[in-house]
Amino acid sequence: MIVTRFAPSPTGFLHLGHALAAWVAYDWAKQHGGTMLLRFEDIDVTRVRPEFYPAIEEDLRWLGIEWEGTPWRQLDRTEAYQSALERLCEMNVVYPCFCTRKEIAQMAHAPQMGDGMEAMIYPGICRELPHVERESRMMRGERWCWRLDSAKAGAMCGNISWQDHRCGVQDLDPSSLGDVIIARKDIGVSYHLAVVVDDAAQNVNWVTRGEDLLSSTHIHVMLQRLLQLPHPQYWHHPLVCDEEGKRLAKRHDALSLRQMRASGVSAHEVLRHMTAHL
């Protein structure tokens, strides 16, 4: 049976881009007699607001989207993430990084992938730090995060490929996002590790999401192989863009579903508009 999921962050109201992602997951499962799950990616407590949990559920029901069971919250899953992180540490495929975002941004040779600081490819400054220096800096209480050593992890995974429903066969590229953050000192897990652990725990076998996350899937496939987790099917669908061709996102002040509903736009009109992008 097909199991999909929609996993928004409760940091704002849903917009058209979210609606498309939710509808693809829901409709694909429905077409094949499967189920869709709802999961809240709420590990970044600095941005999460309690009022957005029920607001997201309300918007989904307005669109006619239903899900199976009680929605999971990542904040309830910290032990599972910590266990996965410990396994990666034992494999020696992660290392502590002490660089600040400002320091990375000032490095002219650090290429940019997409929008925002989270998309900055890390140039690997702390990768070769001596063990003694790492331990000393951690003991001094410096801020640090765990990064995945993509080259080492890729070598352990070997030559593998994965299939995308829309984009075809993808050869694993460990360098697609560089040495990504796996966990922080203040936030015990990153998106990349949490999503892989949760998809496996919930038996999600079809991951449907926007094409902006296609490069992230290389990291997720590596983590699945390292942690010996099931490998789901993937479908990276087109994004909903504005008139200038920019994808709709919270930081671009995209029109929320709540605002559209208040202005008299019907759920049918929203669905017709967003599915035109598929």
Pairing of strands 94-97, 145-148: antiparallel
> Residue 250 carries which DSSP code?
G
Residues 6 or more apart in contact with residue 266 via CB below 8 angstroms: none
Give the position of tokens 């598929």.
278
**Residues 187, 43: contact at Cβ < 8 Å?**
yes
Six token digits for residue 146: 């765990």
**Residues 240, 22: contact at Cβ < 8 Å?**
no
Q: Is the dihedral of CA 8, 14, 17, 18 positive or negative?
A: positive
Is 152 a catalytic site residue? no
CB atoms < 10 A from the CB of 58, how many? 14
User: Which are the catalytic amino acids?
Assistant: 250
